[in-house]
Amino acid sequence: MERRIETERLILRPLQPGDARDVYEFAGDPRVNRFMPYALYTGIEQAHRWIASQGEDSDEFAFQLKSTGKVIGTGSVGLEEKDGLYHLGYNLNYDYWGRGYATEAARAMIRWAYECKGARDFSASRAVANTASGRVLEKCGFRPDHSGQYSKFDGSETFDALYYRLHLD
C-alpha cells in the first residue's frame, strides 16, 4: 500500500534519511516540543536515529511542502491495539504554524486511514493548554471525549489533557 498523499500544498510520504536536517529544525525547537511527549532534540543525530527507526510498516508521514520540498512536520495515524482506535498525532515546524498546514495534513492522514486501512474510529489527544491543536482536531471533526493527563516519555513533565474521538461511517 502506497504511503504517499498529495494535498493542495503538501506531499505526505515516508520519512527519508535526507529529511534529518528539517526534522531536527522543529524537533529541536522548544516552542514545538513544549507539549510533545518526546525529549527536545539536542543534535541532528537524534533525527537520523528516529528516521532510521521507522520501519516499512510505519504509520509516520513527513509533511513536505510541494513548493520547496522542505519537510515542515511529521504525523502519524496508527492503530492502537489496546482500544482498536486509530490514533492521530502531528508535529509542525513553528515557522509554519497558523497557516492551516496541520489541519490539511491531519485531514489527509484521516482520509488515508479510512480509505486504505478501513479505519472508522479515531482518537487524538492534546494538552489542555495547547488550544491551537484543539482547533485543528475540531476542524477535522473530532469531539472531546474525556479529560486526563499524559507525561513526557522521560517523566520530566505531566500535562492536563483532553482526549478526542472521531467516528466515520
Residue identified by cell 466515520 is: 168
pTM of structure:
0.95
pLDDT at 1: 53
Mean pLDDT of the chain: 96
pLDDT tens digits along 118-157: 999 999 999 999 999 999 999 999 999 999 999 999 999 9
pLDDT for residue 57 is more than 70: yes
For residues 138 and 90, the answer to whether their CB atoms sit within 8 Å is no
Q: Which residues of 29-49 are buried (b: 16+ CB within 10 A; e: fewer)?
A: eeebbebbeeeebeeeebbbe
> Average pLDDT in the 146-169 region?
97
Q: Which fold has domain 5-167?
A: Aminopeptidase (3.40.630)
pLDDT at 115: 95
CA distance 159 to 88: 18
